[in-house]
Amino acid sequence: MCRWIAYRGESIPLESYVTKPVHSLVSQSVHALESTAVFNGDGSGLGWYGEQPEPGLYKELRPAWSDENLQHLCRHLRSHLFFAHVRAATGTSVSRPNCHPFACGKWLFMHNGLVGNWDILRRDIERLIPDDLYTWRGGTTDSEALFLVLMGMGLIGTERREDPVTATARMVETVTGLIDEKGGGAPFRFTAALADGRDLYAFRYSANDSSNSLYYRTLGNTVVVASEPLDQDRGSWIGVPDNTALVARWGEPLELQPFLQDSSEKIEPIPATR
């Protein structure tokens, strides 16, 4: 499975989390601790917000541990909101268009997980992408398809815009239904991040399987979300529970919201486990 980090806070160099920590994302690309794939060497990518409304993107086929350009970029690029991702492919080709993150307008998205029986379900899921958004489809991954379906279900190209959590829940519920109906009840793991240049959202969900790991840490207005802790201070990292949405809107306290579960249930953060 892939590994990723998302940051929102004061503008900082990307190296602060991507390359410098003892268990940075680059370190996780060669030695992940909480993943079924120890190596995540099928490409990497960065997405960041600067002076333009749409995010910048950098994607590379080489493993993150051997990409000197990634080191230089992370040292010099600064951003108040950025994503970084190292990929372990789950059935689709190792290519630059298949590297995360993915962008559509002002929105940025990355994913760790899979749609089981993707070869069987691909056509049905891609049919859910509106025609005017299909031009953004650059690769063949399930992750990018989920993102564009999400965009069309309430964030772009609709008369009535939805809250990102509501739109994401609609997409995930629809895909879960397709998996149950046509995919033989295959696993669906959706641990993902979504941002619009101002606010950050993260999700931990699974159907017919266990969810992939996800943690967060806060300090003032800073929020860092990661597949696994980035340093040895594991006590400062909090696990995101299953079926939960993390909502970090600028200027507001971080929230953990029920995601596709009884909204009356109380969300209890969990400590780092390793």
Q: Catalytic residue numbers?
A: 2
Strands annotated E in 34-184: 44-48, 56-60, 78-86, 102-104, 107-115
Calculate the CA 176 to chain-centre distance: 18
Neighbour count for residue 221 (Cβ, 10 Å): 15
Taking the C-alpha atoms of residue 4 and residue 43, their distance in angstroms, rounded to an integer, is 12
Burial readout 36-54 (b: 16 or more C-beta within 10 A, e: otherwise) = ebeebbbbbbbbbbbeeee
Q: State residue 157 phi and psi, 5-degree precision.
A: 75, 20
Contact status, residue 201 vs residue 246, Cβ threshold 8 Å: yes
Mapped to the 3 state alphabet, what secondary structure does 154-176 carry? HHCCCCCCCCHHHHHHHHHHHHH
Report residue 26 as tokens: 């680059």
Hunting for tokens 């696993």 — which residue is that? 187
Report residue 50 as tokens: 């600067």
**204: part of which helix (H) or strand (E)?**
strand 200-207
